[in-house]
Structure 1
Amino acid sequence: MTDKTENLYSKFLFIWFGQFISIIGTGLTIFSLGIYVYQQTSTASSYVFILMCVFLPPLLLKPYGGVLADRYDRRLMMVVGDLGATLGLLFIFLIMLRGNIELWQIYLGIATSSIFSAFQEPAYKALITDLLPEAQYAKASGLMQLASSAQYLISPFLAGILLTLIDIEFIFLIDISTLLIASSIVIWVRKTLGRTAIKQSEQNTIADFREGIQEFSKNKGVVNLVITTMFVLFFVGLLQSLFTPMLLNLTTVKTVGISQSICATGILIGSLFIGVFGSKNKHVKTLSISLFISGIFFANLGLSTNIIFITLAGFTFFATLPFINTSIEVLIRKNIDNSKQGRVWSIISTITYLGSIVAFAVAGFLADKIFNPLLELDGLLVETAGLIVGAGKGRGIALMFIISGLMISMIALFIWRNNKIKILEDIEV
């Protein structure tokens, strides 16, 4: 590694650290607000709507954010995204200080903060290609996934402690502080390295967006890979929505929290491994094998009512995700023109996260109206599927997990045999 490369990688690590702590702050807010809203309403739908406010605005706006990330300095776009996210948090904080905050005000504040992530995330993803050589892509991707895991591994644990010591209003101040720190680091790096030279487009935003679609769609291997990822994220979205309700039918709230933290540790271990050792060149092979294994572990979540077995299955499932995500990111990154990566990544994020949004929208209906009734004590599947997953409250969700896991393993076989995806491996940059 040359001195210049080392310097750029060290600057990336500074930026990564800032994003790491801001992700922890965001996780504190999401977890704390979820608890607050559920305690106020006692309905799962109010909690799910928090997730919708977090994920839906970025889904709708990321394509535009990606265009801006290609038209302007990506580090500047990250600063705008982080600082803008503080506005929604300040809104909730001030309303709570006045008392009698209503649900719509909470949802509005969270949605406002989420809107700015539509500008921050595409710029952050594309920034890797600006700063680092291809040999560092996998390590950087692994570290980014490590930071993302903090929202599920560190934030719930910290929030549980902090909520016993301080009022929820001050959680928002902590989140705001982390965003300010992240912005300050990016500003410092931008000042140190200088502004990124951007070739200003003579086209309007719509033309730039159309060009991003063309860049994305012209590579059939990338299209195949992204559409496949969307289906995988649909099943992962079902897990994200229904894992807690299933566990609450089996054990206490405290044990549920411990179980989820242990499961999230799997992401940490996998991300650390990739961040330290990188990833081999056989990314399609790694993706297929990791995805197939993850499907088996996913299915195991529904096979038992033993919390230790479920937690172990969850840990191993989450441990495979960094290998899957890194393989997908490297395959896409090396096949997309750097000058268009901001808008292309935003399009890719929009398509893939559509799977999660659809899962959030249908998970409650599928569980409450279809699968759970089938495995109640007098349900139609008690004498068949019930012999495998058991009968009683929440076992329909377990059946959903088994089916979802098997579907993910089938998707892995599709990738293994897809020649258009295999060609992505052969591109040299």
Structure 2
Amino acid sequence: MSDIQIMEKTRLTVLREMQLFIIVWLGQLIALIGSSTTAFALDIWVYNRTGSVTQFALVSLFNTLPLILISPIAGPLVDKWDRRKTMIFADVLACLGTIAIGVLFVIGRLEVWHIYLANTFTAVFMAFHTPAYTASTVLIVPKQHLNRANGLMSLMYGISLIIAPTLGGVLLSIVHLQGIILFHVSAVFIAVVSLMLVRFPEVSTSDVATAKSSFLSEATYGFTYLIARPGLLGLVLFSASSFYIVGGINVITIPLVLNFVSVSFLGTILSLFGIAILAGGLLVSIWGGLERNIYAIYGCMLLSGVFIFVAGLQPSLVIFTAGIFLFFLTQPIVSSSTQAVMQNKVEPNVQGRVFAIKGAIEAAAFPLGYITIGPLAEKVFEPLMATNGSLAGSIGQIIGVGSGRGMGLLLMIIGVLTILETSIAYLYPRLRFVEDELPNVSNAVAMATPAAGIAADTASSQNDAVSLIS
């Protein structure tokens, strides 16, 4: 048998073993494109209606805040409920907020506060959907393919980042907001159908999952679980730091790029960064990652610091774009490797609670980057690096002065701090040896074969549909 035939056979084996996951993933990808396209259209509507950057930013806040607040409650419930049905319910109910916006728009009654309310409503249900989706991955993907599955999830977000703005702009001019909302609803319908076509293996219960406990202890279980395992807690905090950096870079990117190019070219630059995320996710899904995930995390975080430092070094659009492109290229590797460690070390029957807390911490870190690094750039570093600024005669002689150089200096500092943080994290033995000190959990929790998962009988599907309606 030739090498090419062996490679083809290997690819077919991987696809067959990941068949359940790929069916679910395709449905969720379509739903994400629909929701991202709607979010883009609503952002444009809010900004055109108000002309206010603050109100524009509040849209993101109302998307994020409920996730942080509801996750500790959602996690215990996700562990008790059927995760596939939880995803179906969350997809359907979250879509109701979008439908309400469409109705209000058609009758001419849509206001900005309606969008805030709808985003909050949607985010509440996504607080259930996200941990259910993440925790179900270990049930339907063999352990050796977890990095590939997590890479595909990063790829999913990269695809939506590239497609949604372009598709949203085209659809706004053709079918307007109501048409985009109809497209969103149709995309969610496809995602729900894909979930109803498969069956997830049952999660075996354990004493820790079924013991009687108070609501408060259930809600805080994810925290106590991580605190009892310092290596995992360190991993979550290390991962959250990358979200913080991404938030800070996002808030710096637009004003910094506009120092070089017009608004019309800005979209091209942002699309390049979306391509970087897509490429990183594709790389992990094909490559499968390192055998020791923690080394991939350390290495990519270290490289991230170098790339951020280089991005701010000179007043050059090419250097900045190349540095930030490479930074975003590493992020799917960090996130997928982190997720793989968590999936291997956290028992499947408590993953809903633990992943909900992990998601809340990471979600909180992202806007924290916005609200700390943004003002630092505008109020502190830009004045320092102005033509007559305090640092113009020293550092300014090396990296340049004027508009944008304060943000460049801030990027260099973030890069250095990221390198230092990674070095300190490497010296922490609980994190460095987390894959050795904690045992792998078994993902043989009634691991169904793809054929068994898909070959659900018609009567069972009808019963599920009835239970959803009721």
Q: TM-score normalized by structure 1?
A: 0.92
State the partner residue of 1:49.
Answer: 58
Rate the CA distance shift 1:323–1:394 in 2: closer, same or farther, 3 A. Answer: same
Preserved contact between residue 18 and residue 183 of structure 1 (Cα < 8 Å): yes
State the partner residue of 1:314.
Answer: 324
State the partner residue of 2:103.
Answer: 94
Residues 344-384 of structure 1 deviation map (CA, whole Å, 9 limit, x = unaligned): 00111112222112223334432332222223333322223
Give the partner amino acid of 1:228: F
Residues 65-110 of structure 1 deviation map (CA, whole Å, 9 limit, x = unaligned): 2111100101111111111111111121122122253221121112
Aligned-pair distance for 1:251? 1.0
Give the partner amino acid of 2:309: A
Aligned-pair distance for 1:162? 2.2
Alignment pair present for 1:249 and 2:259: yes
Q: How many Å separate the matches in 1 of 2:341 and 2:201?
A: 29
Q: Percent identity?
A: 28
Give the partner amino acid of 2:292: K
- Find 2:334's aligned residue among 310, 324, 334: 324
Preserved contact between residue 204 and residue 349 of structure 2 (Cα < 8 Å): no
Q: How many Å separate the matches in 2 of 1:197 and 1:283?
A: 26
Rate the CA distance shift 1:89–1:295 in 2: closer, same or farther, 3 A. Answer: same
Q: How many Å separate the matches in 2 of 1:287 and 1:168?
A: 41
Rate the CA distance shift 1:263–1:189 in 2: closer, same or farther, 3 A. Answer: same
Give the partner amino acid of 1:140: A
State the partner residue of 1:240.
Answer: 250
Preserved contact between residue 248 and residue 374 of structure 2 (Cα < 8 Å): no
Residues 377-397 of structure 1 deviation map (CA, whole Å, 9 limit, x = unaligned): 333222233334433334332
Alignment pair present for 1:68 and 2:77: yes
Alignment pair present for 1:31 and 2:15: no
State the partner residue of 1:269.
Answer: 279
Alignment pair present for 1:223 and 2:233: yes
Q: How many Å separate the matches in 2 of 1:362 and 1:303?
A: 21
Give the partner amino acid of 1:98: I
Give the partner amino acid of 2:72: P
Rate the CA distance shift 1:388–1:59 in 2: closer, same or farther, 3 A. Answer: farther
Give the partner amino acid of 1:61: I
- Find 1:414's aligned residue among 403, 413, 424: 424
Greater C-alpha Rg? 2
State the partner residue of 2:445.
Answer: none
Deviates more, 1:14-23 or 1:50-59: 50-59
Residues 226-255 of structure 1 deviation map (CA, whole Å, 9 limit, x = unaligned): 122223322221112231222123211221
Q: Which runs of 5+ in 1 are unaligned?
A: none
Alignment pair present for 1:371 and 2:381: yes
Preserved contact between residue 221 and residue 354 of structure 2 (Cα < 8 Å): no
Aligned-pair distance for 1:12? 0.8
Q: Following superposition of structure 1 onto structure 2, how do residues 338-349 of structure 1 map, counting pairs within 5 Å?
A: 338-349=348-359
Q: How many Å separate the matches in 2 of 1:53 and 1:386?
A: 39
Q: How many Å separate the matches in 1 of 2:399 and 2:169?
A: 32
Give the partner amino acid of 1:286: A
State the partner residue of 2:301.
Answer: 291
State the partner residue of 1:113.
Answer: 122
- Find 1:209's aligned residue among 215, 219, 225: 219
State the partner residue of 1:402.
Answer: 412
Deviates more, 1:8-17 or 1:399-408: 399-408
State the partner residue of 2:344.
Answer: 334
Rate the CA distance shift 1:383–1:102 in 2: closer, same or farther, 3 A. Answer: farther
Rate the CA distance shift 1:256–1:331 in 2: closer, same or farther, 3 A. Answer: same
Alignment pair present for 1:15 and 2:40: no
Give the partner amino acid of 2:70: L
Q: How many Å separate the matches in 2 of 1:194 and 1:223?
A: 28
Rate the CA distance shift 1:219–1:161 in 2: closer, same or farther, 3 A. Answer: same
Rate the CA distance shift 1:243–1:348 in 2: closer, same or farther, 3 A. Answer: same
Q: How many Å separate the matches in 2 of 1:52 and 1:106?
A: 12
Q: How many Å separate the matches in 2 of 1:51 and 1:129?
A: 30
Preserved contact between residue 28 and residue 158 of structure 1 (Cα < 8 Å): yes
Q: How many Å separate the matches in 2 of 1:379 and 1:166?
A: 50
Preserved contact between residue 309 and residue 414 of structure 2 (Cα < 8 Å): yes
Preserved contact between residue 80 and residue 119 of structure 1 (Cα < 8 Å): no
Give the partner amino acid of 2:382: N
Deviates more, 1:369-378 or 1:282-291: 369-378
Deviates more, 1:413-422 or 1:397-406: 397-406
Q: How many Å separate the matches in 1 of 2:278 and 2:138?
A: 23
SS in 1 for 2:104: helix
* Matched positions, count: 426
Q: How many Å separate the matches in 2 of 1:45 and 1:396?
A: 22
Q: How many Å separate the matches in 2 of 1:48 and 1:383?
A: 36
Rate the CA distance shift 1:178–1:419 in 2: closer, same or farther, 3 A. Answer: same
Rate the CA distance shift 1:286–1:380 in 2: closer, same or farther, 3 A. Answer: same
Q: How many Å separate the matches in 1 of 2:39 and 2:147?
A: 29
